[in-house]
Structure 1
Amino acid sequence: MLTAPMAGHAAPQAAAPATAPAASAQQTAIQLLDRLDAGDFAAVEASFTDQMRQEVPADKLREVWQSLPQQLGAATGRGAPQTAEQGGYQVVMVPLMYEGGVILAQTAIDAEGRIAGFLLQPAQPAQAPGQAPPAPPES
């Protein structure tokens, strides 16, 4: 599926001294997803840090975003955003629901409100408290 091609997130630039407030970071991440859904890839790219613009130009972003429904079927909604501070960034995680599965969109936002990283990966199924992780398949 997708992981690295969308990541400036794996190594956002040097850690910023302060972070964007969580509510503002969530708003930025939701706006990013709304713009992606609307096909406004140039506006998304404009909200990136310089490093992200180099790593993920608008045409690459379009290619990856438009491949999701081809791989997973139609989008059916989004889950509630969650925010965590990581390495001087606010990282907003939003589950994206599709007919064929769930993708977790992770957006790293710097202290200036710019997108320093964006990662799409399959969401891990939730486990009940105290439940052991599933055993790997036997070969």
Structure 2
Amino acid sequence: MTTGEYAQIGQVAERTELSLKTIRHYDEVDLVQPSARSAGGFRLYTDTDVERLLTIRRMKPLGFTLAEMKQLLDCLDILDNPASNAEQRANADTYLLECRNKTHDSADRLRRHLAYAEEFTALLTTHTTAPGR
């Protein structure tokens, strides 16, 4: 997509690796709404909308709730808006720091779980008698 172009939900699902159902749900709960609708009522998304969905996709496996995701997206909007006041920016910065800390802790936990899975895979491999497995 180039600036000013819209993508339909199927294209967005392909780009973001999110299901149509998930993208629709995010619209229904006001997390990420499409920027436009076609004459037939189909959801149309911009590159900015897709970036918001990608941000959510990154947050989901780290244990963020929908409310936390919404708050983070709101904070990013505040920081991207030159008209935001100093207090809004300070609050947004504080929340982003909290999110960064949570992300770090969650990523550490996921790395540990991955190491356990790899250990278990190796154990199973040593006990597998069928060739090629």
| TM-score calculated relative to the size of structure 2 | 0.28
Whose radius of gyration is greater, 1 or 2? 2
Greater helix share, structure number: 2
- Which of 1 and 2 has higher RCO (CA within 8 Å, sep 6+)? 1
- Structure with the largest fraction of strand: 1
